[in-house]
Amino acid sequence: MTPGQQSAELAMVKPKDLKGARALAKELGIVDVDLSPMMLALAVKAAQLASALSCERKEAWELLRREREGLMKYVHQAQPQAKEPSATPPATVFLVPEGEARDANLASIGELVDDEPDPDFAQEFDASDTQVGRSKSDGHT
């Protein structure tokens, strides 16, 4: 068994522990047997562990609590902290044309209409495919 599995074996309550919790609680001398089955099962587990380790029941309860706490991150994911929006705007990226496109007037390409696809800059500037970074697999030669 891995350390995590061992921790779970020690700290977790199984369905069979829930079924026999009330009877075992009475047998171990736990006074308040009107607790929920889960709480009774945890109290019984702590009492049994205390007996096995020859320690106080509170110490055994604390040991079980720490074991369960260590397992929580694997069961219940911590939520990320909310971040305040940054006051600084995002970085601006400038594309600088090279070659024949360097001297072209980008405004002369025309305005895009919602129904039209983006312009093919390689055709607009009469540039070769290698200048705009196309690969031969794009279907262009």
Q: How far is CA 85 from CA 13, 28, 46, 88, 89, in A?
A: 43, 57, 47, 9, 10
Quote the pLDDT of residue 17. 86
d(CA 128, CA 134): 9
- Work out the angle at residue 108's Cα, subtended by the Cα atoms of residues 128 and 112, and round it to the nearest 5 degrees: 90
pLDDT at 21 over 70: yes
At residue 112, the 3 state secondary structure works out as coil
Nearest by Cα to 8 from 71, 50, 76:
71
The residue among 35 and 140 whose pLDDT is bigger is 35
pLDDT at 99 over 70: yes
Across 106-121, average pLDDT: 57
Q: What is the pLDDT of residues 69-98, one digit of tens each?
A: 888 888 888 778 888 888 888 888 877 777
Quote the pLDDT of residue 125. 58
124 CB-contact burial (10 Å; exposed 0-12 / middle 13-18 / buried 19+): middle
Q: What is the pLDDT of residues 32-72, one digit of tens each?
A: 767 888 888 998 899 999 999 999 999 999 999 999 988 88
Quote the pLDDT of residue 80. 80
Quote the pLDDT of residue 37. 87
Quote the pLDDT of residue 117. 61
Quote the pLDDT of residue 61. 92
d(CA 22, CA 28): 10
How many Cα atoms are found within 13 Å in the side-chain-facing hemisphere of 34? 1
Helices (H) and strands (E) in the chain, counts: 6, 0
Across the chain, which distance is largest between two alpha carbons, in Å?
A: 93
Per-domain boundaries in the chain: 3-75, 99-133
Q: What is the pLDDT of residues 121-134, one digit of tens each?
A: 556 555 555 554 54
